[in-house]
Amino acid sequence: MTPPSTIDLRGAPLLVVGAGIMGAGIAQVAAQAGHAVWLHDAREGAAAQAKDKLAASLDALVAKGKLGSDAVAQALARITPINDLAEAAGATLVVEAIVEKLDAKRALFQQLEGLLAADAVLATNTSSISVTAIANGLKRPERLVGMHFFNPVPLMKLVEVVSGLHTDAAIAEAVFALGLHWGKTPVHARSTPGFIVNRIARPYYAETLALLHERAATPTVLDACLRAVGFRMGPCELMDLIGHDTNFSVTQSVYEANFQDKRYQPSGVQRDLVDGGLLGRKSGRGFYDHRPGAVNPVLPAFEPAAVPVGGLLRVMGHGPVADRLAAALTQLGRVFQRKEHSDWVGLDIDDAQLRLTDGRCASEIGVNVAVFDLPMQPAGAEPGQPLAWALSGRATEAWAEKVPRWLMALGFHPQRVADTPGLVVARTLAMLVNEAADAVLQGVCTPEGADAAMKLGVNYPAGPFEWLARWDAASVVRLIEGLDAGYCGERYRVSPWLRQQAWQAAARQEGQP
């Protein structure tokens, strides 16, 4: 095996195959980094058109003062559109960005092996196809590696460097180093369905689709609750932006590649949208109406409320949420007791309980019980955070009336949802953490790689293991077990990696080695 230190791709002559949005973006980044770039597309004239369009975009940035005219001229001069792949026989690195079809990619690389030198590095920008499968049939499969960029390439920092079963570690390290040279943040990934981002992100859509299937809440409420913990867009908004046909296709691909694992099962809710042509923004309608002049539902304005009159008031449990409740009550001037040694977190108010969800339905827990969602916000956050809550089916009307008033007094914007396991934010974050834990267990990536990938690839407010550090493994395990008990299926199963973390944390608390 070639030592990693002997492969240096900086400044290497580069061939980009595919002059669509991704290919043109890759060509731009490479040219700006000093590479001579050949740009090819199977459609005659497409490469030249892509360069012209790129020139117009860069000139616009020059006009805005964001780029220098000399730097732009030099970068454009490095890009040469070609109609015949043989013109790029001197390339030592090729990045393929053609249609997402295995046979097409495999045939292209087999053709390139006959044109390029034996030591050329072959990289595929595939977002979901197995790198191992693409390499099958190549004379030198060890030279093929995944180099998965995110759109728009010039702006998005993440690059997944994906190794198949044949990929030479030296090749992967050379591409990783090249990503750094291009100003990107590369992360290593093993070639499994969805790689890192498209795999770990599935629960963000899946849990919302499951809640919609149960009619537990509206898209407006679900999106508001998840935006409240830092996501730039709620799942329904995001699926409308991506396009339901595209999102559904990716989910199907991951589901089928994982042998119909129920964790990745596509949703009938989204299938119906696709069947009905309601694809989101591209078609004018999806979960929301995107047609000109359309008015979509919004949450009513937040209105603070006075604390309901009550007798004995206790803050139960310990941790960030209990501390936040105690701080809010102190600011309100309410007298309360603390009972940190409790198996639940929340408020004990006379004969009623307002509890942080542990994955169980409120009706399962007791009579005058309401459960609220995971706030996942530090103390001192701006008041008015939308927060899901649910009521026991056995609760009194008096308690049902008091719950939203308590939540408003504590600074939340309460959104009542059906009494469903895990509510909204808690179940979504727990399943994101669980999926990432399995990815680490299976050697797909490291915890650090997963965090970087999700923050940079899909703009998550935190990585799954950062959420885990702010929560705790035992609580995540307990919540997923509650989901599993509530739904009695294969979907909600705890990752062995996560369960090990919970056991180790418990041992440390008990003072065990």
Architecture of the domain defined by 313-416 = 2-Layer Sandwich (3.30)
pLDDT at 316: 97
Q: Find the angle CA(234)-CA(262)-CA(231) to the nearest 5 degrees.
A: 15
> Which residue in this structure is represented by tokens 């990432």?
436
Q: Give the span between the Cα atoms of 311 and 314, in whole angstroms.
A: 10
- What is the residue type of 471? W
Per DSSP, the three-state class of 353 is: strand
Active site residues: 127, 148, 160, 198
Which regions of the chain carry the CATH code 3.30.750? 313-416
On the 0-12 / 13-18 / 19+ scale of CB atoms within 10 A, 400 is middle
Q: Give the span between the Cα atoms of 425 and 372, in whole angstroms.
A: 10
Per DSSP, the three-state class of 224 is: helix
**In this structure, which topology does domain 202-293+424-513 adopt according to CATH?**
N-(1-d-carboxylethyl)-l-norvaline Dehydrogenase; domain 2 (1.10.1040)
CA 121 to chain centre: 29
Tell me the per-residue pLDDT of 358-416, one tens digit each, with 9 for 90 and over: 999 999 999 999 999 999 875 556 789 999 999 999 999 999 999 999 999 999 999 99
Q: Give the span between the Cα atoms of 465 and 61, in whole angstroms.
A: 37
CA 346 to chain centre: 29
- SS3 of 135-171: the string is HCCCCCHHHEEEEEECCCCCCCCEEEEEECCCCCHHH
DSSP labels for 96-141? E---S-HHHHHHHHHHHHTTS-TT-EEEE--SSS-HHHHHTT-SSG
Q: Give the span between the Cα atoms of 347 and 350, in whole angstroms.
A: 10
pLDDT at 378: 57
Calculate the alpha carbon distances from 496 to 23, 340, 430, 441, 499 in Å.
39, 29, 14, 8, 5
Which regions of the chain carry the CATH code 1.10.1040.50? 202-293+424-513
pLDDT at 511: 74
List the chain pLDDT tens, one digit each, 513 residues. 444 447 999 999 999 999 999 999 999 999 999 999 999 999 999 999 999 999 999 999 999 999 999 999 999 999 999 999 999 999 999 999 999 999 999 999 999 999 999 999 999 999 989 999 999 999 999 999 999 999 999 999 999 999 999 999 999 999 999 999 999 999 999 999 999 999 999 999 999 999 999 999 999 999 999 999 999 999 999 999 999 999 999 899 899 999 999 999 999 999 999 999 999 999 999 999 999 999 999 999 998 888 787 778 999 999 999 999 999 999 999 999 999 999 999 999 998 999 999 999 999 999 999 999 999 875 556 789 999 999 999 999 999 999 999 999 999 999 999 999 999 999 999 999 999 999 999 999 999 999 999 999 999 999 999 999 999 999 999 999 999 999 998 999 999 999 999 999 888 877 766
Q: Give the span between the Cα atoms of 207 and 423, in whole angstroms.
A: 10
Which regions of the chain carry the CATH code 3.40.50.720? 4-191
pLDDT at 1: 42
Q: Considering all CA atoms of the chain, what is the largest pairwise distance in Å, rounded to the nearest integer?
A: 84
pTM for this structure? 0.93
pLDDT at 314: 96
H or E element that contains 93: strand 93-96
pLDDT at 2: 42
Contact at 8 Å (CB) between 196 and 163?
no
Tell me the per-residue pLDDT of 205-215, one tens digit each, with 9 for 90 and over: 999 999 999 99
The CATH number that domain 4-191 falls under is 3.40.50.720
